[in-house]
Structures are given as structure tokens and as C-alpha cells.
Amino acid sequence: MTQTTVITIANQKGGTGKTTTAYNLACALSHEDKKVLLVDFDPQGNLSMCFGIENPDQLKFSMFNIMNALMSDEPLPDPKEYIHNHGNIDIIPSNIELSVAEINLRDEMGGEKTLTTLLESMKQRYDYIIIDTNPSLGLLTINALAASNSVLIPVNPQLWSATGLTQLLKIIIKVKKRINPGISIAGILMTMCDTRTNLYKEAFRLVKAYYQETVRIFDVQIPLSVKVGEANFYSQSIIEFNPKSKVATAYCSLAKELMQGEQ
């Protein structure tokens, strides 16, 4: 197996398609015969529910238990207890308890590297590890960035804010300087795009004007589609639910673009 690539999907704004991107990118990579681990690092547990885990709050073992064990220097549960699988994709689920772990991280010496400790021991099993983060720039997001090779930033043109994206980029630069010198920005991914609207055209123009010189903007863009919500409702990726849709095609193209960028 080649070297594992760890990708964090991050944007402190909600509603940018982080969870949808994490899940569908994982599915697209699995269709390229890649073994993928999804890490639900959001206390809302939306990625876990997309994966088909109906009641994340009732799980015996979740990311909360793993983080707590690591911070307490206690033995981890058997991976079979907390890793759920579907084909070529595994997931470590999350629930609302993870928000307690974030509070505990504040008092933990070297707490920003807690997730790194976990993932280092698992890398030999996966080609890609994809981390879905919560909409904030708190300690959970910093943990994810500390553990990652790269960051993919989904941007919804309807919610786009130059200030918000600049704050995220500053955090990434700080993490690179102080914690994880190996991290880079994979790029900005435009999501939920209705290319016919003036709002999209203006938002995309501004993204290019502000960031094209310093940050890659992916060629592929994810179209706006109600099919994504339907797929999530049935706990399926859009690639499984409607493989011929424009959204499914876009995520498959994104996976190929990412893999080509690593060659």
C-alpha cells in the first residue's frame, strides 16, 4: 500500500457541504479501489447518520470514547468495537458527547496532537483518511489539521464570506508553523453551484479574485441538486443513489483530480 493521505474537510461556516463532500469523496475514492477511513469529528454526527448509523448518540463506542481514552492514557477498545464498515469504506462515528472531549482538550498537554496519535496507528490499513470537521475553528478542527496532509475547503457561493475564509487560512498557516509543517491546502471546492445565477457568478469571481494566486481552486464544481438531500435521507452517497447524476459525476472527477495531484 502506498503512503496514506489524510485529508481534512474544513470550513467554519455551516451549510457549505463538508459532510456531503467527505462522504461522497470517500465513495468516489473507493470506486477507484482505494481503502478509505472516514473520521466523523463533528459532535453533530451527521456523517455517521449519512453512513447509516441511525442513532449515533446511543453508540457504546464513538470518537468521544476514543479521544477520552487517549487523553487518559487508557487502552483503546478493540477497533471492531468502534470502526463500522461498508465495502471499501470504514468510519469512526461521532455523537454529541464529542463536544465534551473538546472541552477536555483545553487542559490536555499536547492535546492538539491527540487525533494524530490515533491515526498514526491506523495508517497502514488505508490509502485515504478523510476527516469531517464541525463548523468552528476550535480545538477539534485544530486536532484534525494537526493530523492531516492537506485541507479541502468547501465553499457554498450562497454563503461565501471573504472574511471567514481568510480566518480559516490563517489558522492553517499557524498550524503549519507551530504543529504540523507537512500540511498543505488541497484547494477550494465550490459546492451547491447553480451556475445560472448572478449570485454564483459574483461569488465565484470574488473567490478567484481573492485566492486564485495563493490557493488552488478545483476545476470541478459540485452542482446544486435536491438529489443530494434524497441520498442523505436514504443513508446513501449520491454515487450510490444516482450514479449518473451531475453531482455523482462531479465527485468522481474530484477524486481523480486529487489523485492526479499526488502523482
**pLDDT tens for residues 30-85?**
999 999 999 999 999 999 999 999 899 999 999 999 999 999 999 999 999 999 99
| Spatial separation of the C-alpha atoms in residues 200 and 229, rounded to whole Å | 20
Q: What is the mean pLDDT of residues 160-167?
A: 82
Residue 114 has pLDDT above 90, yes or no: yes
Q: Say which CATH class 5-261 falls into.
A: alpha beta
What rounded mean pLDDT belongs to the chain? 93
pLDDT for position 260: 85
- Complete DSSP assignment for 135-162: SSSSHHHHHHHHT-SEEEEEE-TTT--H
Place 250 in a pLDDT band, splitting at 50, 70 and 90: very high
Assess whether pLDDT exceeds 80 at residue 2.
no
- pLDDT for 108: 83
For residue 60, give the 3-state DSSP assignment.
Answer: coil
pLDDT-derived band at 93 (thresholds 50, 70, 90) equals: very high
User: Given a cut of 50, is residue 1 above it in pLDDT?
Assistant: no
pLDDT band at 263 (very low <50, low <70, confident <90, very high): low
DSSP for residue 212: T
Q: Which three cell numbers stand for residue 233?
A: 435521507
Q: Write the pLDDT tens digit of every residue in 231-241.
A: 988 999 999 99
Statement: residue 185 has pLDDT above 90:
yes
Residues 36, 89 contacting (CB under 8 angstroms): yes
Number of other CB atoms surrounding residue 159 within 10 Å = 16
pLDDT in tens, 190-222: 999 999 999 999 999 999 999 999 999 999 999
Q: Which amino acid is at 36?
A: V
Query: How far is it, in rounded angstroms, from Cα 203 to Cα 19?
Result: 21
Residue 159 has pLDDT above 90, yes or no: no
- Continuous segment of H or E residues that includes residue 188: strand 184-190
